[in-house]
C-alpha cells in the first residue's frame, strides 16, 4: 500500500541512505535521495514533501538555508541524524522534529515517520 507524501533523504553516507530508502519504500513510502550532485533548486516535488531526513553532521549551511526558505516548516517533519553524543534540536534556524543518534534503530525512525505522515481523516 502506497502511503501519502514524499520523503527526501539528505544523507551523504551512501549505505545509510540506501538502507533508509529500502526500509521506507518497503513500507509503502515514496522516497528520493539528495546527494549533492544536483542543486536542491532542481527538487520539484515540494508540494508532496512530508519528511526530510538530514545528516546534521555533514550538511552544509546552504542546505539548511534552502530547507528554511523553500519548504513549509513546520508542516514538514525534519529528522536529524547525527553521530554526535550531544543531539541538537536546531541548526541554522531549522528545528528538528526529532533527532536520532547513529547507529540508530530503523524501527524507531519508521515509527516516527509513520506519525509524521499520518493523515487526519477529519480535516
Any idea what the CATH number is for the domain that residue 35 is in?
A: 3.40.50.2300
Query: Is the confidence at residue 2, as pLDDT, over 90?
Result: no
Query: Is the confidence at residue 46, as pLDDT, over 80?
Result: no
DSSP string of 7-54, one letter each residue: EEEE-SSHHHHHHHHHHHHHTT-EEEE--SSS-GGG---GGGEEEEEE
Chain center to CA of 28: 16
Backbone torsions φ then ψ of 26, nearest 5 degrees: -70, -15
111 within some domain: yes
The residue segments making up the domain with residue 42 are 6-117
123 within some domain: no
Backbone torsions φ then ψ of 18, nearest 5 degrees: -65, -40
Domain count, the chain: 1
122 within some domain: no
1 within some domain: no
13 within some domain: yes
Cα–Cα distance measured from residue 68 to residue 72, given in angstroms and rounded to the nearest whole number: 8
Please, which pLDDT band fits residue 22 given cuts at 50, 70 and 90?
A: very high
Query: Is the confidence at residue 9, as pLDDT, over 90?
Result: yes
At residue 123, the pLDDT reads: 40
- Measuring CA to CA, which residue among 57, 66, 16, 58 is closest to residue 38? 66
SS3 assignment, position 102? coil
Cα–Cα distance measured from residue 82 to residue 26, given in angstroms and rounded to the nearest whole number: 24
Amino acid at each position: 500500500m502506497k502511503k501519502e507524501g514524499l520523503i527526501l533523504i539528505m544523507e551523504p553516507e551512501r549505505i545509510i541512505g540506501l538502507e533508509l530508502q529500502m526500509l521506507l519504500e518497503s513500507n509503502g513510502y515514496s522516497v528520493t535521495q539528495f546527494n549533492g550532485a544536483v542543486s536542491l533548486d532542481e527538487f520539484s516535488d515540494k508540494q508532496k514533501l512530508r519528511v526530510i531526513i538530514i545528516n546534521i553532521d555533514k550538511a552544509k549551511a546552504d542546505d539548511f538555508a534552502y530547507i528554511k526558505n523553500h519548504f513549509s516548516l513546520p508542516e514538514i517533519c525534519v529528522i536529524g541524524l547525527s553521530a554526535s553524543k550531544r543531539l541538537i534540536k536546531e541548526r541554522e534556524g531549522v528545528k528538528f522534529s526529532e533527532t536520532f543518534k547513529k547507529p540508530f534503530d530503523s524501527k524507531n525512525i519508521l515509527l516516527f515517520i509513520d506519525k509524521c505522515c499520518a493523515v487526519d481523516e477529519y480535516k
